[in-house]
Amino acid sequence: MKTYRIATIPGDGIGKEVVPAGQQVLEALARSTQNFEFQFENFDWGADYYRQHGVMMPADGLDAIRDKDAILFGSAGDPDVPDHITLWGLRLKICQGLDQYANVRPTRILPGIDGPLKRCKPEDLNWVIVRENSEGEYSGVGGRVHQGHPIEAATDVSILTRAGVERIMRFAFKLAQSRPRKLLTVITKSNAQRHAMVMWDEIALEISKEFPDVKWDKELVDASTARMVNRPATLDTIVATNLHADILSDLAAALAGSLGIAPTGNIDPERRYPSMFEPIHGSAFDIMGKGLANPVGTFWSVVMLLEHLGEFDAAKRVMQAIEAVTSDKSLHTRDLGGAATTAQVTDAVCALIGKTVAHAA
């Protein structure tokens, strides 16, 4: 029997509700199989830790998670701590520290979910957004001087490197190649941003030659929002810079029914470090502590975590349980127009997992 070592980092807000729910699902799964077990270690990093220690996570925190097999993360963000401190002090510190350069965000309309697009059939919307996760607009390079004076100035410098663009393009083309439609859309803004985004386009063209069986096209980021709404079926795999993909994937999640459903993986494709899986939503201050958070985004992230570990049978069983639960409107949380609680949805998914049979490894 294999043992997987999992770090859980609930963080803040509803992260503290959905990550334990995700752990419950993994525990239910482990009870139902002889193939593997999990060893969890929980880390209480986040805004409460910040209030006690002045930092979101300890300086040597990365060393405590570096040798895990995967990380399950909740959210960083607190009503009383500025967002740039919580985000940079925890989530970005882990993503960049462990060089999880590919952020992968699958989106589709799950059974039983009513998306907002009237003319969109569920099968029309089946996307994976690949977000460059290590540089670009979120490089963290910049500065602020003369604070409070009329001559105050501030910069956030977006940096793209050839190495960074090559590796994310190669990852995206490879992912597109592995999907049935072998279709990639490269999002750009090279009409207005005439240096780095032009290099981005050129490198896309270069890398495309390594993947002659992948059809690909280019779309300006602003036009791509309209295309997502009006012609969703023309998209499959999508690659974009850090900021562009951040925005497009929230739109994608909303078009698929709710921010509460969407999962993501922060992946180190070279597997030098553990990858980190999390729902794409944040701390959801308006509903935190009330048991109203939709845990499906976390459960789908658990599916991605299992796939990353190579446990495809287990991943499929969790996905089937999720889809059975979304098909049942009495198990919809408030974001989906229902009245179910986090605990009810979690119990239902765990019960379904307990009823299915694991195949031998």
Rule CB under 6 A: is residue 281 a binding residue for ligand NAD?
yes
Rule CB under 5 A: is residue 268 a binding residue for Mn ion?
no
Q: How far is the CB of 26 from Mn ion (least distance, A)?
A: 24
In total, the chain counts a number of residues equal to 361
Q: How far is the CB of 56 from ligand NAD (least distance, A)?
A: 11
Rule CB under 6 A: is residue 275 a binding residue for ligand NAD?
no
Interface positions, 136-165, toward ligand NAD (CB under 6 A): none
Q: Which of 297, 319, 326, 345 binds ligand NAD (CB under 6 A)?
A: 297
The structure tokens listed for 142 are 């910049």
| φ, ψ of residue 75 in degrees (nearest 5) | -155, 150
The structure tokens listed for 107 are 């989106």
Residue 193: Cβ-neighbour burial (10 angstroms; 0-12, 13-18, 19+): middle
The structure tokens listed for 63 are 């060393």
**Nearer Cβ to Mn ion (23/298):** 298
**Nearer Cβ to ligand NAD (232/263):** 263
Rule CB under 6 A: is residue 131 a binding residue for ligand NAD?
no
The DSSP code sequence of 222-247 is HHHHHHHHH-GGG-SEEEE-HHHHHH
Rule CB under 5 A: is residue 246 a binding residue for Mn ion?
yes
Q: How far is the CB of 198 from ligand NAD (least distance, A)?
A: 30
Q: How far is the CB of 233 from ligand NAD (least distance, A)?
A: 26
- Give the H or E element holding residue 278: strand 275-279
Contact (CB, 8 A) for 72 and 29: no
Q: How far is the CB of 284 from ligand NAD (least distance, A)?
A: 4
Exposure on the CB side of residue 164, measured as CA atoms within 13 A: 24
Contact (CB, 8 A) for 204 and 95: no
Rule CB under 6 A: is residue 75 a binding residue for ligand NAD?
yes
Which spans of this chain sit near ligand NAD (rule: CB under 6 A)?
14, 75-77, 83, 87, 91, 259-260, 278, 281-287, 293-294, 297, 333, 335
